[in-house]
Amino acid sequence: MASDLPPIVARHGGLEVDEDDCGYVWQIPAAERCEWTKKTSDCLTDAAIQYIPSLFCEFSSEHTALITLGIILYMLWLLYLFLILGTTADNFFCPALSIIAEVMHLSDNIAGVTILAFGNGAPDIFTALVAPAEETVVMFNELIGAGVFVTTVIAGSIAVVQPFRVRFRPYIRDTMFYIGAVCWIAYVTGDESVHVWEAMSLIFVYIGFIVVVVMGQVIDSRRNVTEGRIPSLYDRTVLKTYLDNRDETLIPRLPTRAKAVGLQSKLDIVLDVERKNVLAKDDTMQEANVDEGASRRPHGLFREFVFDVSPINMEDWSEASKLSRVYIVLRAIPMVFLQFLIPVVNQTAAKRGWSKLLNCTQLCVTPVAITFLFGGNDDLLSKRRSHESNGRPIWSYSIGPIPLYGLALVVGISTGVFAFFATDLDRIPKYHNAFAFLGFFAAMAVVYLIAQEVYSVLHTIGTALTISDSTLGMMFLAWGNSIGDLISNVAIARRGYPRMGFAACFGGPLFNTLLSMGLTYGLAAAKHDNLRTHVRSSAMGPGCIAFLLCSLMASAFYLTTTSYLARRSYGFMLYSIYFMFMVICILSEIGFIHPLGIDGASVQA
């Protein structure tokens, strides 16, 4: 790659890249790029590895083939990070949040739109939070771009896989709130400046959504009691697909998994919630018998421990297709560390996931690991700021004469040893649900750090390929964070619950967008004296918002004309909308056309 490349300019007629911007690296002579990236703060990120200096130092840009190989390896690593992120969220984060909702006695509606929504949207939320304040373009376009992807590709895939009839009132409620939220976001960010009250208003919009959901549930319950009918929020007819016989007073219980962590963890939890809802609404229905997963677990302290820490779940392996087995092998390495680090309480598993030796080991290891995982720098300072201000690592602090990590080690080992002698192998301890709270914090730490790595690798690829932040956010990051939702929602539809998966296509992005933007902009604005933060303009931002509104309005129009029957043609219509969105984004990125809604006179990518 030649060192006398033409000046790198922002897309669509923008200004030249500043010398303190990492994208200026291509203006530096090839032989000096390694040292330049090490000294430029914009090239340093919050990640454990400084990817940009590593790319230009280990894969010399003087040789086109070598730098190309480095970029390809980084792309593969990005895909693997997305796999780890999704695995952590689905297998560890969601079960913990489900138990927390159970412990707090939250109703299904409140839990669904708060705690469980947080579990499903963890990748988007933490990716938004780890983005630097000056890089809000990536965060903004990722959230809006993910909304377009979810409401078109995922919602369309559900209709293609399992045509169904949409429930009118919940759909209208979710869609109207989503449209209103997007319009309000467009207004708030329109002047490229967000005040702290505007950021908080995004969170209050979602709180208003929660209030409407709860009020609607109360009204429905009262109406059902008045009319003498059994209140039911779900499609009971689909339960027939699970019946062992035609006795409609029996509803089969899901098979209990022998292991708390597996490919079906998230799906089993969702279906178990559905089963409990139906049983709670109809006292004439009973559970059918089913084999217990405990019979498939090995007996003995150490045999059970080896079984639970095994990175490959043989139960999943025996049921998996060839492609799924490849996925199981790829995730085996992170599963070794995750299972030692994060306790899991899973109501769909044998003994609710209780594994005496493993859980006691986690009590010893997890507090220390959380201290290090959360403690990159004081007050979670980024490495970039630490590079400039020599911030001290959090584990260098102490409480009195005891260092912080030492205190965590003592508390962890003491608790683990006490739990080992105070518990039985085959009896679930009374305080077992407390492991869910420990698992929640451990999973949150892991998701947060993996999100930092994802953002840093993505930033490196964008710098190396001179891809704009807009495209990085609305395509690569949106795809990576949403692919797990695509798989799980389609799987839910295949199991006979298309309405549940479809509802998640609107409630999930609404939660992610409002909470992520509200927290990110609010925290950034609170740091300024005038309580206002600058929002970087994005040439493609108006186009993202326009297509998101287009997908929502097109869905409403189609479903209204078909009496809210989602046919396969509905899915193909949504596919076509996303295809047009991608075409415009790609043509805008290469400069062939101006971004939708921008005249191209003087915009900054």
pLDDT digits (tens, 9 = 90+) for 46-90: 777 888 888 888 887 778 888 899 999 999 999 999 889 888 888
Q: Regarding predicted confidence, which is higher, 1 or 42?
A: 42
**pLDDT for 205:** 92
**pLDDT for 603:** 43
Alpha-carbon Rg for the chain in angstroms: 25
> Could you report the per-residue pLDDT of 539-560, keeping only the tens digit for each?
777 888 999 999 999 999 999 9
> Could you report the per-residue pLDDT of 361-373, keeping only the tens digit for each?
999 988 888 877 6
Query: Could you tell me if 378 and 475 are in contact, meaning their C-beta atoms sit under 8 angstroms apart?
Result: no
pLDDT interval class at 497 (50, 70, 90): confident
Amino acid in position 122: A
Tokens of 581: 């969105």
Strand-pairing partners, residue 164, are: 566
> Could you report the per-residue pLDDT of 362-405, keeping only the tens digit for each?
999 888 888 776 654 343 334 444 444 344 444 455 565 667 77
Tokens of 225: 């009691």
User: How many CA atoms does the CB half-sphere of 297 hold within 13 Å?
Assistant: 27
> Could you report the per-residue pLDDT of 127-182, keeping only the tens digit for each?
777 766 566 677 788 888 888 999 999 999 999 998 989 888 888 988 999 999 99
Instruction: Determine if the pTM surpasses 0.85.
Output: no
Give the percent of the chain with pLDDT over 70. 77
> Could you report the per-residue pLDDT of 244-268, keeping only the tens digit for each?
333 444 455 666 787 888 777 777 7
Question: How long a stretch of residues is the chain?
Answer: 605
Q: Regarding predicted confidence, which is higher, 252 or 574?
A: 574
Q: Regarding predicted confidence, which is higher, 481 or 195?
A: 195
Give me the mean pLDDT over the 201-228 stretch.
Answer: 77
Instruction: Spell 485-519 as b/e; 16+ CB within 10 A means b.
Output: bbbbbbbbbebbbbbbbbbbbbbbbbbbbbbbbbb
Q: What is the crossing angle of helices 122-130 and 434-465, to 10°?
A: 60
Locate the domains of the chain by residue range: 22-354+428-589
Q: Residue 580: pLDDT above 50?
A: yes
3-state helix, strand, coil in the chain (%, to 5): 70, 5, 25
Tokens of 34: 């390694």
Tokens of 285: 């229905």
**pLDDT for 23:** 78
**pLDDT for 7:** 40
pLDDT interval class at 409 (50, 70, 90): confident
User: How many CA atoms does the CB half-sphere of 374 hold within 13 Å?
Assistant: 15
Give the percent of the chain with pLDDT over 90. 16
